[in-house]
Structure 1
């Protein structure tokens, strides 16, 4: 038991489940507001985006801190992003549309924010399926180009959110700004800057 409690992955797993636990607590106490389905849909969608952005932040943080071990948490973070994406999609499929596939197909075709959201979800599936070490070995050099789709998926997720919100765009635009920053930190000049900052911090110590 002590070994489990000392394992950072166990704590990270528990933290990643907190948004779901919050939904259960709010639901049991009638705290989901006047439109519970909308609340659940919005919450799971938000945490999907948060999960994607946190996953994308691992590499810049690793370069900035020199902590190579951070990379071992990336898979779990990515899978939790997919987990909340599934909850988001199932909420729409079941609680919102009651498995009316004709209506769902019409939504996907006619409502742009649903079109891009559905595309992002579909693109996430192969990334989740191929996230294991076995699949990494099987795919070989093809694995990395496939998983670079996460950049497109995150962008589609932000667009989905921006197009969904009709009035206050503050939160979706904040997500967009964070995504742009994380993508910029992957450019060669930015990588060099991160290494320079890390070296200065090391000297300061």
Structure 2
């Protein structure tokens, strides 16, 4: 049971749209800083890094919705689709920044990067797997795919871990931030392995009380 006040249902729709607006602010601010020359170092690389980092953060936030509900009773399921799509938007912008601004669509260099640099190989694979999830993040697809929809969207676990590994391998020195994201990804995916026994134990505890 949650000890926090719940948002009235009439505001649920507006809060989801507010999440989209707020969620896109880092990209807008990063772009503004880039075009006005306020990003330190290589502005393209900095902007590319910013987008990728926020994409990973939204992936982690998406996976966190279920354990937050299980452990704290906070039902934020209505935000999971928005968080997942925000993750896709950021990863797509990260990819486009790499392709257009960083490599100037030089496909030979891109293919060499994919083949020779493992963290880019992993990142490209994660992005590819994320596309069908984004395309089916709608009510029509849920009805159309039925039980197959849930199986398909379990790819989010693989994608999140791959994204965390991609980020960790992309930095020259593994600092607290990438290590934290990798640990969170493993914990959030690992929660799925113990979730059913925990929920069963909690229901038994509530009945006994």
Q: TM-score, normalised by structure 1?
A: 0.87
Equivalent residue number for residue 5 of structure 2: none
- String of CA shifts for 1:15-71, please: whole Å, max 9, x gaps: 201211221332244211120011011100100100100000011112223344x11
Structural mapping, 1:21-170, within 5 Å: 21-68=28-75, 70-170=76-176
Aligned residues: 197
Runs of 4+ in structure 1 deviating by more than 6 angstroms, as ranges, are: 3-6
What RMSD, in angstroms, separates the aligned Cα atoms of the two structures? 2.5
| CA distance, structure 2, for counterparts of residue 49 and residue 78 of structure 1 | 10
Which secondary structure does the structure 1 equivalent of 2:192 belong to? coil
Unaligned 5+ residue runs, structure 2? 1-9
SS in 2 for 1:146: helix
Q: 1:23 to 1:188 in 2, by over 3 A?
A: same
Decide whether aligned partners of structure 1 residues 191 and 181 sit closer, same or farther in structure 2, where only a CA change above 3 A counts.
farther
Contact 2:48–2:97 under 8 Å retained in 1: yes
